[in-house]
Amino acid sequence: MGETAAAMPRTAAPPALATAAVRRHAHLLPLLAVLALLAVGPPGGAGAEDSGTGTLADAASGVLVLWALGSSLRSGARPLTRLAAGVFAVAAAGIAVAAAGAGDPGEALAGMARYLQIFVLVPVSVLLLVRDRRDFTVVTAALVALALFEGAVGVHQYLTVTGASYMGEDIRAVGTFGASDIMGMATVVAYGLVAAVAFALAPDAPDARAGRAGRAQRPAALVCAGLLLLPLALSFSRGAWIATAVTCLVVLLLAGVRRALRVAVTAVALAVVVVGGAGAGTALLQERLSSITQVADAPDQSVTDRYTLWSAAASMWRESPLTGVGLKGFPAHRDSHAPLALSSGSDTAGAGAAFRRQPLLSPHNMYLLVLGEQGLVGVCTLVAGWAALLVCALRRLYTAAGAPGHHGDRDCGLAATGLLLWLLVDFFYGDIGGPSTILTSFALGLAAWWALGRRDDTGEAARR
């Protein structure tokens, strides 16, 4: 009896397992803290005029950078591959050149700090702290959880008519971001939806270690994706809709045609049940959908403003093709380059904020913003770096499809590539700004981990 008992494997108690899991992922705490703080409303409430700057998540991202730097110094190993170091170093150099050529030194320094935070420092920190696919899964699970929370707040705003103002009604779902950042909730929900779709399409776990959690991953991810469809629809954000549709289609095709067809049928059924059954198929939503195809024939004022802002950014570039008008120079040069059709601003109200006329200080197109403010130097350093990330991510995804040792990374590859692709498509309709901007850094960092991070012979990220 004693020998039999001694031979039986001993399993760890649940508290011991929980403690081990916390220790295993302790280095991710700053990453998870930034995501959690995004759910906290802006300082002074949703109606504060400076609600788009100086958020708790931005402050936490500074701690994240210091934490990643300290971890890298303690490890003693070379933190980045040559390619990763080159991509981010070139981007930093381009940002510095754009700041040096700006007309207002104070604005330029503030802009340089913001650009370095979003496009260099935080992405590199994410790349350094995410060690392997388990870390990646934890971070993306936290992103999906944040999306579900913001989506739930947004749906509640729609149902109780407490959201941001849209067509005279306070029904626009904006989550905790308020009317001053109407794209905030849409961005969070779209990222969560893309990540959930990617993991729903992932192949079965390659080994028995995944256990029940591995087997439950796909259906849980599919349910999360279905739930996030409704708040995305209620955001009334055409740019987020287009970016999400394009990204999900590409991810479906990357996952395989047969699996794409099965998931597409399931997703359509979920969309009908969730969106139609909840009463979200309103005339306003249908009108917003149809307006996507009417931007050339009968554009509304918001589309007209966007066209004129794009024209202004292009005019700035033609004036200074090499270096542009300088970092943070678009607002100062806007009026001298914009056509007369540009309105004085956009109206914002609701979701706890009073009516306010919000000035149009960017072209709402990241590529044109870089072109107008940073010229060809910015395009060749910053935008080319994003293109390199996408090419490397797709190449590694193709490699993972045929290499047995890399097969277990494929779910992470689909998610990382999807997040990056969503960002690059959305940049045609938006740019950086507002509390949700920090998610741009996370998308770039997770994509860099997949595209540029080290791998050992089994396909796992090499520990640093």
pLDDT of residue 463: 45
pLDDT above 80 for 349: no
Q: pLDDT tens-digit profile of 23-80?
A: 677 889 999 999 999 988 766 555 444 445 568 899 999 999 999 999 888 876 678 8
Q: Please give the distance of CA 51 from its chain centroid, rounded to a whole number.
A: 19
Helix, strand, coil share of the chain (percent; to 5): 70, 5, 25
pLDDT of residue 1: 45
pLDDT above 90 for 3: no
pTM reported for the whole predicted model: 0.87
Are 180 and 70 spatial neighbours (Cβ–Cβ below 8 Å)?
no
SS3 353: strand
**Bridge partner list, 166:** 169
pLDDT of residue 156: 93
CB-count burial class (<10 Å; 0-12, 13-18, 19+) for 106: exposed
Across the chain, which distance is largest between two alpha carbons, in Å?
91
pLDDT of residue 4: 47
pLDDT of residue 434: 83
pLDDT of residue 206: 46
In the structure, what pLDDT confidence band is assigned to residue 198 with cuts at 50, 70 and 90? very high
pLDDT of residue 200: 87
Q: 386 or 458, which is more confident?
A: 386
pLDDT above 50 for 459: no
**Cα–Cα distance for residue pair 445/416, rounded to 1 Å:** 9
SS3 292: helix
Q: How many CA atoms lie within 13 A of 340 on its CB side?
A: 0
Q: 221 or 297, which is more confident?
A: 221
Mean pLDDT for the chain? Answer: 81
pLDDT above 50 for 370: yes
Q: pLDDT tens-digit profile of 286-309?
A: 666 665 555 555 566 777 888 889
In the structure, what pLDDT confidence band is assigned to residue 334 with cuts at 50, 70 and 90? confident
CB-count burial class (<10 Å; 0-12, 13-18, 19+) for 187: buried
